[in-house]
Amino acid sequence: MGKLALIIKREYLAKVRNKSFVVMTFLSPILMVGMVVLIVYLTKINDNEIRTIGVLNESNYFSTDFQGTESNSFVKFKGIGLEAAKDSIQKMGFYGLLYIPNEQDLEQVASRSFFYSKDAPGSSILNNLENVFKDRLRLQRLQELGVSVSDFESVDNNFEIKTATFTGEQNLKGITEIKAFIGGAFGYLIMMFIIIYGGFVMRSVIEEKTTRIIEVIISSVKPFQLMLGKIIGTSLAGVTQFAIWIISAFVMFGVLILVFDIDPSALNSGASNTPVLIGGAAYVAASDSAMQLYANELFRIPWIMLICFFVIYFVLGYLIYSSIYAAIGAAVDNETDTQQFIFPIILPLMLAIYVGFFSVFNNPHGPIAVGFSLFPLTSPIVMLMRLPGGIGEGGVPIWEIAVSILLLIITFVGIVWLAAKIYRVGILMYGKKPSYRDLLKWLKY
């Protein structure tokens, strides 16, 4: 035990003291924020481009429409032919020309109108133009039917069916998705952690091989101890990194609140007001109580249980994958040789994430979701996506959790045993790029 502790300590310190690790720890949050800012900025620039569109209106309609918007401005042509208008549009470098012919009635005008442009127009522009036509057409048809605009608007309603479980708990639309999203976040976290820190474990093994210190060390400790110490030490470094990120996020949030004097509750109410803008005054009360329900529902997610299971699935899943990473590191001489072995590891992880997002979101307890949440290589991710829905009735059956954890433990023991065998042989093999067949042979040594 003393030796294992020594190895863990060394691996941890080696990782934490590493310059790139320190830089990444403090740079990543800045990079993340910068990335978001950059994306927002770029989207804005993209939208900021004002396109000028020529309108050649020969009809008697639409005379007051086509006012400039944030992204479009309109130039009206009068008294010239279509071809001449097209020419001048091109000469002036405008985006396109909307041609509205002179016809008997609005329906015909609309159906004969054309939009000319240099290349296929973007959908946002077309939507803008089409909406103008749609509004006009709707108004005219309403008039023909003898319905007033206010009557029409009162006809429109925002009906949503209310749902409840058999035990009478009220369900909320979209809450399944929100819960799955929370679970998805946990699952995604596990995947990222496995890929990043599994890779660290692998590189650390390769480093020991290339510096040739490995044989010195395993003449003092068992290869299995070394492998385990490496995995634990590296993941502790990872946990440290995550802790720093979470703490710094809280600190930054706190600083923001203090510096800009933002009332945190204002953020909440602001968010809850958003749907009001769409509906009408009548919707406000309903929306407020709905938000309340959503909040209640989120509070009712068994967070403690969720975090406990997160830890269990995380530890088991991470140990399984990182021991495979360690075995790969032991099998090869340099990082470029790892590609062929890495792909099969990433595959179940990606599968878990995609199956999670597509299948679990739609139906958290469907056969695919159940299957993947039992299969040990995907269960840490998929099961966590299902768990926020609760355990037992209406949630994940207890037997499924028991089976998936049991399978995970059996796989863990099996995989670690196999990986340790490959590791033990691999670390002493130099100068040969092994094939899968070689790895199989090593298992028999």
Partner 1 sequence: MNNILVANEVSKQFGSHIALNKVSLEIPKNSIYGLLGPNGAGKTTLIRIINQIIYPDQGAIFFDGKPLQAQHIAMIGYLPEERGLYKSMKVGEQALYLAQLKGLSKSDAKIRLKYWFDRLEIGDWWNKKIQELSKGMAQKIQFIVTVLHEPKLLIFDEPFSGFDPINANLIKDEILQLRDKGTTIIFSTHRMESVEELCEYIALVHKSEKILDGKLSDIKKAYKNNIYKVGLGLQSANGLLEDLKDKFEILSSEYVDGGSQLNFTVKLPSDDTGPFLSHLSGKANVNNFMETIPSANDIFIRTVQSK
CA dihedral 172, 173, 177, 182 (to 10 degrees): -30
Across the chain, how many H-helices and E-strands are there? 18, 6
Task: Report the residue number, 118 or 441, with the smaller CB distance to partner 1.
Answer: 441
Half-sphere exposure of 52 (CA within 13 A, CB side): 10
CB closer to partner 1 out of 111 and 220: 220
Amino acid code (one letter) for 417: W
Q: Smallest distance, Å, CB 216 to partner 1? A: 6
Shortest separation between residue 11's beta carbon and partner 1, angstroms: 11
The residue among 223 and 388 lying less far from partner 1, judged by its C-beta, is 223
Beta bridge partners of 51: 72
Q: 77-84 — which CB contacts under 8 Å span 24+ positions?
A: 80/56, 82/56
Q: How far is the CB of 425 from partner 1 (least distance, A)?
A: 8
Which residue, among 210, 196, 197, 198, has the nearest Cα to 426 in the 3D structure?
A: 210
Asked if residue 430 binds partner 1 (CB under 8 A), the reply is yes
Query: Nearest CA to 306 among 164, 180, 173?
Result: 180
Query: Please, are residues 262 and 256 in contact by the beta-carbon 8 Å criterion?
Result: yes
Question: By CB under 8 A, what part of segment 9-28 binds partner 1?
Answer: 10, 14, 18
Footprint on residues 197-236 left by partner 1 (CB under 8 A): 207-208, 211-221, 223
Strand 170-171 and strand 163-164: the pairing is antiparallel
Give how far the C-alpha of residue 203 lies from the chain's centroid of Cα atoms, to the nearest Å: 27
Q: How far apart are CA 183 and CA 385, in angstroms?
A: 4
Q: Between residues 91 and 212, which has the closer beta carbon with respect to partner 1?
A: 212
User: Shortest distance, CB of residue 417 to partner 1, whole angstroms?
Assistant: 16
Among 37, 243, 257, 428, binds partner 1 (CB under 8 A): 428
Stretch that binds partner 1, among 2-10, 134-142, 189-197, 373-381 (CB under 8 A): 2-10
Q: How far is the CB of 437 from partner 1 (least distance, A)?
A: 10
If binding is defined by CB under 8 A, does position 44 make contact with partner 1? no
Between 158 and 435, whose beta carbon lies closer to partner 1? 435
Euclidean distance between CA atoms 62 and 109, whole angstroms = 10
Q: Which stretch binds partner 1 (CB under 8 A): 231-239, 355-363, 406-414, 424-432?
A: 424-432
Binding site for partner 1 (CB under 8 A): 3, 6-7, 10, 14, 18, 207-208, 211-221, 223, 424, 428, 430, 441, 444-445
